[in-house]
Amino acid sequence: MKNVALALLLSVTQVAAVHAEDDYRNYLHKISGFANWFRVGTYQLQDGKTIREVDLYYSDSDLSPTGSDVLVKVIPNSFGLYCVWKTNEGNWTHKEVAGRARVGFSKILSADASGLIVQLYVKRVYRAEIPAERDRWRAILKGETDDYFRLRLSFVGGQPLTEESTAEQAVDGKPPEPPQPPR
């Protein structure tokens, strides 16, 4: 009898997990422009005494939904960083936590319960036929420039909060790394 009860409990748990996943997917696909978002990852962030599971996404008008460069670019690009999480009432919600032009996503530098440090980079237009501009672009790709900035993302009072991260908040004292292509 214990085995039957355990099997029934596991079945109910699996069905509940599938329904929760379906609810999440349905919510995401109702968001305008979601098809152009790129998933960064899922993080556990402290919000007072609550731990929130937060999914982080970004959009970049320079990238197609497959992650490849678009054929016709609009300059400047538009960039958005988005959080998706469950409210205290158990409903899915999302918020654009950073939106800018001429910006691209590089990577997550650090992640712990207190927050995330997100590295972004400034997108500039360089003309390859001008040697100084070509050299500047090569320096950016090698990480030999200051065209990076960091955002700190945390949760306060049930809402995501972003602020520009300072040099003192550098991760392990290491300088920023060059941008990585989207996955």
Please state the three-class secondary structure of 83-112 as a single string: EEEECCCCCEEEEEEEEEECEEEEEEEEEE
Percent of the chain with pLDDT over 70: 69
Pairwise pLDDT comparison (6 vs 157), residue with the higher score? 157
Name the pLDDT band for 71 (thresholds 50, 70, 90). confident
Q: What is the tally of structural domains in the chain?
A: 2
Which residues constitute the domain of residue 23? 1-30
SS3 150: strand
Q: Are 42 and 25 within one domain?
A: no
Name the pLDDT band for 2 (thresholds 50, 70, 90). low
Q: Are 90 and 162 within one domain?
A: yes
Q: Are 98 and 127 within one domain?
A: yes
- The sheet with strand 92-101 has its strands ordered as 37-47, 50-60, 78-86, 92-101
Does 86 have pLDDT greater than 70? yes
Q: Are 3 and 72 within one domain?
A: no
Does 168 have pLDDT greater than 90? no
pLDDT of residue 140: 62
User: CA-CA distance, 119 to 167, in Å (whole number)?
Assistant: 12
Longest dimension (CA), the chain: 79
Dig out the tokens for 136 from the structure. 């500047």
Name the pLDDT band for 146 (thresholds 50, 70, 90). low
Structure pTM?
Answer: 0.73
